[in-house]
Chains A and B, each alone.
Chain A
Amino acid sequence: MRARGLTKRFGSFTAVDGIDFDLYRGEAFGFLGPNGAGKSSTMRMIGCVSPPTQGELTIFGADPVRNGAAIRAKLGVVPQEDTLDVELSVRENLLVYGRYFGLPRAVIRERTEQLLDFVQLSERAGDMVEPLSGGMKRRLTIARSLINDPDILILDEPTTGLDPQARHVVWDRLFRLKQRGVTLILTTHYMDEAEQLCDRLVVMDHATIVAEGAPRELIERYSTPEVLELRFDPALHEQAAEKIKDLFTERTEVTADRILLYSADGDEALTRVLAAGLEPLTQLVRRSTLEDVFLRLTGRRLVD
């Protein structure tokens, strides 16, 4: 898959502003960014249901506008909001979807068993979809998106709205798919999701790509190995921030409730903070994450 100058406008609003990316078989590729960064619009263009306003997009060597149906035959799509038919059973949802791709009943039946087993829903096969939990519905959507044995699986915020346990189950399943060689494209505003699943990712903000690379590579390039997080009494927060900026040469970021100090050695930095007479309420030394990369690149946090 290849995109050059890919642009999507809705009237005067530019949702995606001339982005470039390349995607290779078998990799897990992520679009990381806050809500409204243009991730979902990009996903819809890749899913061949949204013609680009400008620029070039090639999938399997074909044009998604002219050959949408042919390309979609080899895509699996997990949309941001579930589009399951809640009036049908779990199994029937897969049947209906398989039929859309013109698969014979016998093939659908066989794949349904395998896929429901894969997403751990075999016991609910005959149940209606409506009463299933959010996590189960998500897993069913993933199973459904795999019914046509796609070469590329597109996931738009696969775990948004799920509780932590359900998220981990979804991650585990997606990781297994990756192991099996399915190409994954996903959007997320969770940095932990991106770090867990993506071989390579782009960071999007305000309709453009601000950085590209492997998660560790991005962290190395845009952040320090460690971060010291300090929390002060809210009354002293600003004062402390000023003082730290004066005293330290390292990059600092001041968020609403914390001061982040980017340093190669967090413990050593903490010693200097304490030596300077500052008295944080809490302190935490941690490794840099993609959140820090995003903060560095955009000056804002991913999720607020």
Chain B
Amino acid sequence: MAVLSPGADPPVTPRSGGLPVPPNPPGWWRLSVRGFRCWLTTYRRLWRASIYSSVLGPVFYLGAMGYGLGSLVDKHGTASLGGVPYVEFVAPAILAFQAMNAGMSNAAFPVYGAVHWNRIYIAARATQLRATDVFRGHVMFMTMRVAMNSACFIVVMAAFGTIRSAWAVLLLPAAALTGLAFATVVASWAVTLRSVNPMNYAFRFGAVPMMLFSGTFFPVTRLPGWLQPVAYATPLWHGVALCRALSLGGSGLDPGNVAMHVGYLVAMAAVGLWIGGRTYRRRLYV
């Protein structure tokens, strides 16, 4: 099925003279920012409540896992964790998986809802915005939400003294990139759905196992040998490893590894953006 032309619009050329031809629209960036700002307008009403809920969850994890479970772990020695207290090992991982969670949950149901429930996309497509602008504008908003949550959590991490390295100033972009990678892929998929069930499955059988087994609560080397390559292939592991390296510094901060993690996540975000451009056009221009 034909879809509306991707990318920039070609110049408008009048075919039957006489009528005023509308001027060309501005570039995709400005159009996408318009879409983004509309999400901001909606969010202004909700942001306080959303901050409480999105910050408290990770903080509970930090308390229960980092300190509760950590007090047990630390008694048995933490050599396999790189010799750091468990709370310092687990805190950057919680940062990474809350970024994944925020990325996914700001993409899945809100995107589905923008097609089926509040129909924000359907309203927006009738305007100057193109499907790709609608998509990118929403992704900007998702990334902002991930960054907000992550920033709050990084402040908590610092306050609890779980950060060892000065490289931790890069934790925010690292977490935002992790969230963005998940958000683009999930959004480009959620827009195609006709029911909410697949999204529930994605959380239950995708996000939850990844959260448990991607080197978050224990090193991947503790998994059975055949499972280790699977864990290394998950995007969350790259997010976790990147955040952990930045937070702990030292020998974990190998430039080659960091480049690999960043490269993986950037590639995933890029693929998500590319697919999303296509799926959004298919969905919105029927």
Interface residues of A (CB under 8 A from B): 2, 10, 25, 44, 47-51, 53, 58, 60-63, 65-75, 77, 79, 81, 83-88, 92, 95-97, 99-102, 148
For the complex of A and B, the 3 pairs showing the least CB-CB separation, nearest first, are: A100-B127, A61-B14, A83-B123
Say whether A88 contacts B25, CB under 8 Å.
Answer: no
Chain A residues, Cβ within 8 Å of B9 = 66-70
Chain B residues, Cβ within 8 Å of A92 = 41
CB distance from A47 to the nearest CB of B (A): 6
Interface size class of B (residues with CB under 8 A): 35 or more
Q: How far is the CA of A100 from the CA of B39 in the complex (A)?
A: 11
Given contacts A44-B286, A73-B25, contact A97 B123 (CB under 8 A): yes
Q: How far is the CA of A50 from the CA of B122 in the complex (A)?
A: 12
Say whether A87 contacts B45, CB under 8 Å.
Answer: yes
A-side interface mostly: loop
Say whether B41 contacts A72, CB under 8 Å.
Answer: no
A79 CB contact (under 8 Å) in B45, B126, B286: B126
Residue B204, interface by CB 8 Å: no
Q: How far is the CA of A296 from the CA of B179 in the complex (A)?
A: 62
Say whether B26 contacts A60, CB under 8 Å.
Answer: no
Query: For residue A96, which residue of chain B has the nearest CB?
Result: B38
CB distance from B210 to the nearest CB of A (A): 32
Say whether A85 contacts B118, CB under 8 Å.
Answer: yes
Residue B222, interface by CB 8 Å: no
Say whether B41 contacts A49, CB under 8 Å.
Answer: no
24 of the cross-chain contacts (CB-CB < 8 Å) are: A2-B16, A44-B286, A50-B285, A50-B286, A51-B285, A53-B2, A58-B16, A60-B14, A60-B19, A60-B20, A60-B21, A61-B16, A61-B19, A62-B14, A62-B22, A66-B9, A66-B10, A67-B9, A68-B130, A70-B12, A83-B119, A85-B123, A87-B118, A100-B129
Chain A residues, Cβ within 8 Å of B284 = 49
Chain B residues, Cβ within 8 Å of A79 = 122, 126
CB distance from A72 to the nearest CB of B (A): 6
Say whether A97 contacts B127, CB under 8 Å.
Answer: yes
Which of A58, A69, A88 has its CB near the most chain B CB atoms (within 10 A)? Answer: A69
Say whether B31 contacts A69, CB under 8 Å.
Answer: yes
Cβ proximity bits B132-152 to A, threshold 8 Å, 1 near / 0 not = 000000000000000000000
Q: How far is the CA of A72 from the CA of B134 in the complex (A)?
A: 14
CB distance from A82 to the nearest CB of B (A): 8
Chain A residues, Cβ within 8 Å of B197 = none
Say whether A102 contacts B16, CB under 8 Å.
Answer: no
Say whether B120 contacts A85, CB under 8 Å.
Answer: yes
Chain A residues, Cβ within 8 Å of B220 = none
A102 CB contact (under 8 Å) in B17, B22, B45, B128: B128
CB distance from B83 to the nearest CB of A (A): 50
CB distance from B18 to the nearest CB of A (A): 8
A88 CB contact (under 8 Å) in B22, B30, B41, B128: B41
CB distance from B138 to the nearest CB of A (A): 13
CB distance from A151 to the nearest CB of B (A): 8
CB distance from A1 to the nearest CB of B (A): 9
B5 CB contact (under 8 Å) in A65, A95, A148: A65
Query: For residue A78, which residue of chain B has the nearest CB?
Result: B126
Residue B42, interface by CB 8 Å: yes
Chain B, 33-71, CB within 8 A of any chain A CB: 34-35, 37-38, 41-42, 45
CB distance from B5 to the nearest CB of A (A): 6
Chain A residues, Cβ within 8 Å of B26 = 102
Which of B2, B24, B41 has its CB near the most chain A CB atoms (within 10 A)? Answer: B41
CB distance from A107 to the nearest CB of B (A): 14
Known: A67-B9, A99-B34. 13 other contacts (CB 8 A): A49-B286, A51-B285, A61-B17, A65-B4, A67-B12, A68-B130, A70-B23, A73-B25, A73-B128, A77-B126, A101-B128, A102-B128, A148-B127
Say whether A51 contacts B2, CB under 8 Å.
Answer: yes
CB distance from B10 to the nearest CB of A (A): 6
Residue B164, interface by CB 8 Å: no
Query: For residue B45, which residue of chain A has the nearest CB?
Result: A87
Chain A residues, Cβ within 8 Å of B129 = 69, 100
A100 CB contact (under 8 Å) in B5, B14, B22, B35: B35
Say whether B286 contacts A71, CB under 8 Å.
Answer: no
Query: For residue B17, which residue of chain A has the nearest CB?
Result: A61
Say whether A86 contacts B128, CB under 8 Å.
Answer: no
Query: For residue B5, which residue of chain A has the nearest CB?
Result: A66
Q: How far is the CA of A68 from the CA of B12 in the complex (A)?
A: 10
